[in-house]
Amino acid sequence: MSATDRDTLRSEAVSEDADAMQAIRARAAIFDLLSGLFRHAPDAAALSALRTGALADALADIGLTQEALFGGFDEKDLADEVAVEFARLFLLPGVLVSPHESVQLAGGSGILRGPETADVRDFYERTGFRLADALRMEPDHFSIELEFLGHLAREQAFALETGEAACARDAARYQREFLGRHLGRWAPRFLDRVSAHPDARLYRSLAALAKAFLAEADNDDSKREG
């Protein structure tokens, strides 16, 4: 093999790595975005990002146009209306769709703070994470599970960047395992329920986005695994 061949191979390898890193970073960012949107009702700043600029464009590209997201809302009271929707979907007893694994998992305990919650916490801890002491949410809240995957994806990207292949492999494996054992097992059903909720408007679209994205993440992972 000539020196030029080696250089070509090396640069191909480098660009492959760079591509992979870009995709992983994108995945981390989308996990973060969804985590934020499913944790609290979007505030004015968040709504503005969803309505204009790069994020709105990118969402439109995949079919989540402004109409799809915000059609039917009263422009004037948008923030309030979204907040009310969020509360009815996720907070109000009697009507909510609980955003927790222990409640939503088919064949699971069905109770809030169930054994599944402990398993999730244990998974975080086994992979070196610790929940903030002041956290007033359950560890298996949809948004925290998404946040966790975001952290792992960022760790994977960072490990690739610093040449720590073993760490990168570990971070990828933890994501696959977490999707396989936890989020992937309950999120589709949960998101379907959100979509089907009579009060869902913005979150119908966001649920569709989350479902498609998780399916993609799952697929992507299984491809790499195979």
Partner 1 sequence: MFDRRHFLKLGVASAAAGLAGAPTLGKAGDTLVWGNQDFSRKTGRERKAVPSACYQCVTRCPNVTYVEDGRVVKIEGQLKSIRSEGVMCAKGQGGVNQPNDPDRILYPLKRVGKRGEGKWKQISWDEALGELAGRIKALMDKGEPEKVMFQYGRMKSSTSKMVNTFLAVVGTGTIGDHTSICEGGKWTAQELTWGAHYDSWDFDNTRFVLNFGSNVFEAGTNHVPTSHRLIRAIAERNVRLVTFDVRLSNTAAKSSEWVPIKPGTDLAVVLAMCHVVMGEDLHKGDGEAFLEYCKVTDKREASLDEKVAALKAHFEPYSPEWAEKLSGVPAQTIRRLAREFATAHPACVISYRGAIAHYNGNETERAIQTLAAITGNIDNPGGRCKAIEPKWQFPKGPENLPKARKLAIADGPKGAAALPTHHMSHQVLKMIKDGSAGRPEIYICYKYTPAYANGNVQENIDILKDETLIPFHVNINPFYDESAALADLILPEPTYVERWDWEDMVSPVQIPEFYIRQPAVKPMGETRDFGDVVCELAERLGTPLGYASKEEFVRLSCEMTPAVAAVGGFEYMKQNGVYHDPKASPVYFSYRREIKAEDYQKDSVVFDEATGVYWDWQKAHVDSRAEALKTGYAHVKGAYKAYVGQRIGERVVRGFPPDKVNKSGLFEVHSAILAEKGFAPMPTWMAVPEHERMTPDELVLTTFKVATQIHSRSPNCKYLTELYHKNPAWINPADAARREIRDGDRIKVSSVVGEIVTEAKVTPAVNVGVIAISHHCGHWEYGRYASGKRGPTATDNDADLERIWWKGDHGVHPNWIIPNSPDPINGEQRWMDTVVKVVKA
Give me the residues that bind partner 1 (CB under 8 A), please: 22-23, 25-30, 32-33, 35-37, 39-40, 42, 46, 49-50, 53-55, 57-59, 61-63, 124-132, 135, 137, 143-144, 147-148, 150-151, 170, 208-209, 212-213, 216
- Written as six digits, the tokens of 119 are 């398993």
3-state secondary structure of 69: helix
* C-beta of 1 vs 136, nearer to partner 1: 136
Q: How far apart are the C-alpha atoms of 59 and 90, rounded to whole Å?
A: 23
Rounded distance between C-alpha atoms, residue 120 and residue 189, angstroms: 18
Distance of alpha carbon 6 from alpha carbon 168, whole angstroms: 24
Give the separation between CA 210 and CA 22, rounded to whole angstroms. 20
Dihedral sign of CA atoms 87, 88, 89, 93 in order: positive
CB 54 within 8 A of CB 168: no
Q: Which is nearer to partner 1, 19 or 80 (CB)?
A: 19
- Shortest distance, position 150 Cβ to partner 1, whole Å: 7
In angstroms, the Cα distances linking 14 to 2, 46, 162, 163, 226 are: 18, 36, 13, 11, 22
Query: Is the Cβ of residue 9 or residue 26 nearer to partner 1 in the bound state?
Result: 26
Q: Nearer to partner 1 by C-beta: 70 or 213?
A: 213
Min separation Cβ 126 and partner 1, Å: 5
Residue closer to partner 1, measured from CB, 70 or 124: 124
Return the H-helix or E-strand segment holding 76. Answer: none
Contacts of 179 (CB under 8 A, 6+ apart): 149, 214, 217, 218, 221
Minimum CB separation of residue 3 from partner 1 in Å reads 33
Nearer to partner 1, 49 or 96 (CB): 49
